[in-house]
Chain A
Amino acid sequence: MDILSHLTPMFFGLIAAGTLIGIIFGAIPGMTATMAVAVCLPLTYAFGLENGIALLLGLYVGGISGGMVPAVLINIPGTPSSITTTFDGYPMAKRGEGERALKIGIVASVFGGLFSAAVLFFFAPVLADFAIKFSYVEKFLIILLALTVIASLCSNMLMGVFSGVLGVWLSLIGTYSITEGGNGETRLMFDFMEYYLIDGFSLLPVLIGIFGLTTVLLDAEKGFKDETGQGPISLKGGAKFKFNVFKGQLLNLVRSSSIGTFVGILPGVGGSAASVLAYSQEKNFSRDSSQMGKGAPQGIVSSESSNNALTGGALVPLLSLGIPGDSTTAILIGAFTLQGIQVGPLFIGNNIDTWYLMIIALLAANVLMFGIMYFAIRHIAKVIEVPKYILYPLIIMMCVVGAYAINYGIMFDVWTLLIFGIFGWVAHKIGLETVPLIIGFILGKSAEVYFVKSIESYGNLSIFFTKSPIAMFLWVLIAISLAFAIYLRLRNRRQPTVES
């Protein structure tokens, strides 16, 4: 089998390196898995697709897992998806059970990660086979559904919709490509911009700017103050971890992992939603939830299994529909494009070896994450003390490499990084939602092609409603997502204190 020739020490070495770097990024508050993938993307230019993907998946899994370290030790989630880990992890650490809390989180994480990899393996090909039958109309409606779901789950729906549409608008800047059936004319720019923007803004400099430089600017504005006001809690001493803490936790593990995977499949819904949902379900349905929030292992189990389950879930829409499940998988789209591969319904069928290697890489990343974190947690915990005055200049430097190398040496891509870094900071300040904006940006050009081709083929707008039962079903899903959003708004208005 050809696949075996790719399973080299280099392949597994890159997964291990990616996982370790990801853990370090995740463990530093303010630095996320998305940032890890964005910053390390240039390293994949030199590797082939399979080795590059191995590194990026390691970074993804490691980045999500590493977020638990500061969540437990300093009460600040390293990544947004570790928010609920602070509820029980920090109280446990305060009473001298920091190492135990982290090891509970590590085991729960590996369970969630492996669970979601299995779902990805069995579910993505089925969804892709189904999506192959889609015409331009259904493909456009899928994008519309994705943007609706993302926007409806934002904290402010109107801003979410606006952000998504703004992302689409930004993606349309440039030439209406002849290869896509366009007329080769430029739009949405002045004549003097044509030299720079003939092909529009490149995806990766935009992503690297928003997720890399923006983070640095947000921290620079705060002056790099120590948000905790105290040092991290020591891991020495305290109660020892034993696996029997998971006795009676199987239902919690499976339920939380299922929630994490499902939330991952929904495009654009972040890991924090997964962990909050899983945590609240455990609180509602467990026999005894009285200790949750005061240092109960079951809280860490639900939080960490759900946020790691997000990894496989978010890859499902990416690999079967070409729609990223979250901000990190949005960057993975860029990595695929870089290697000349288009993700979508045909991806798995046309790249079967790559598909199997991705599953192997995801499984290996989870196992390696467990090995690295379980046995070296005391050393990893020290990472949170690495000063940002050392790290952030290096991050900007790596952002430059990523932006410049993407199109083999275009300086305008580096300026794009700066433009979108500042734009991301402004967006953060005025309440724009980054994830809908990015996903709108990624899907905008495809949405245009599918929309225009549908109209050119049928000449009537009614085709979007009447083309097929699938089209009608997609409209029903769009209506449900909007209705659900409105229901949530009304419920939150009635119970503001509970939600807060």
Chain B
Amino acid sequence: MESQWLSLLDVSIDFDQSHLFFPRIVTWILVILLAMIVITRYRLLVPGLKRAGRVLAGREGEFDHKRFFGTLALTTAYFYLMSVLSDVFPNTGYSFLIMSVVFVFLLSLLYVEHLTRRLFVILVLNALIAPALAWYVLAQLFRITLP
């Protein structure tokens, strides 16, 4: 009798499909949990999404669009151009060095509240010295692979 009950828990895994066995279980658990979250929080969900939309559109709340989307755009451009330039200078780290100088300067400029002449010089020096130092120490001294 006991063995009959236990046989209900018998599981065999087909080797050809074994790569999907555990992911399917996890996916189902994930779907069930998501459904539970939606059911228990549905009252908060729709107003929350609406509010998020209004904040992103700049109609409500304090959200610095310029700095947030500027960071995203500059970072994406930094990664993309670094990738392109690394085909021109393969295995030298020059791509990293050149793009980092430009990126550090532009991002600093984006984040500064009140730009003065003195601050501008500081930002330029920071953008030149810090990436050059990082490139020299990492790529030249420590031989770390850089784009």
Measured CB to CB, the residues of A under 8 A from B are: 42-43, 45-46, 158-159, 161-162, 165-166, 168-169, 172, 175-176, 182-188, 213, 216-217, 220-224, 388-390, 392-394, 396-398, 400-401, 404-405, 408-409, 411, 414-415, 418, 421-422, 429, 444, 447-448, 451-452, 455-456, 459-462
CA distance A448 to B23 in the complex (A): 8
Q: Which 9 A-B pairs have the closest CB atoms?
A: A46-B142, A223-B64, A176-B19, A389-B111, A393-B107, A461-B9, A185-B19, A393-B104, A448-B22
**Are the C-beta atoms of B147 and A217 separated by less than 8 Å?**
no
Tell me the bound Cα distance from A221 to B62 in angstroms. Answer: 8
Q: What are 26 pairs between A and B in contact, CB < 8 Å?
A: A46-B143, A162-B33, A162-B37, A169-B26, A172-B23, A182-B18, A220-B70, A222-B62, A388-B111, A390-B108, A392-B107, A393-B103, A396-B75, A396-B78, A397-B103, A397-B131, A400-B82, A400-B100, A404-B146, A411-B79, A411-B83, A455-B11, A459-B10, A459-B11, A460-B10, A462-B6
The reply to whether A460 and B103 contact each other, CB–CB distance below 8 Å, is: no
Q: Which residues of B contact A (CB under 8 A)?
A: 6-7, 9-13, 15-16, 18-23, 26-27, 29-30, 33-34, 36-37, 40, 52, 62-64, 67-68, 70-72, 75-76, 78-79, 82-83, 86, 91, 96, 100, 103-105, 107-108, 111-113, 122-123, 126-127, 130-131, 134, 138, 141-147
Known: A220-B68, A223-B67, A411-B86. A452 touches B13 (CB 8 A): yes
**B33 near A397 (CB under 8 angstroms)?**
no
Nearest chain A CB to B55 CB, angstrom units: 9
Q: What secondary structure prevails in chain B residues at the interface with A?
A: helix
Chain A residues positioned under 8 Å from B143 (CB to CB):
46
Which of B26, B67, B70 contacts A165 (CB under 8 A)? B26
Residue from the list B11, B20, B134 in contact with A187, Cβ < 8 A: B20
Q: A221-B63, A222-B64, A397-B130 are in contact. Are A188 and B112 (CB under 8 A)?
A: no
Which A residues touch B83, using CB under 8 A? 411, 414
Among candidates A172, A223, A418, residue contacting B22 with C-beta atoms closer than 8 Å: A172
Check A216–B11 contact: CB distance below 8 A: no
Residues of chain B within 8 A (CB-CB) of A394 are 104, 126, 130
- Which chain B residues lie closer than 8 Å to A168 at the CB level? 26
Q: How far is the CA of A159 from the CA of B18 in the complex (A)?
A: 29
With contacts A400-B96, A404-B145 taken as known, whether A165 is within 8 angstroms of B11 at the C-beta atoms is: no
Contacts of B71 in A (CB 8 A): 216-217, 220
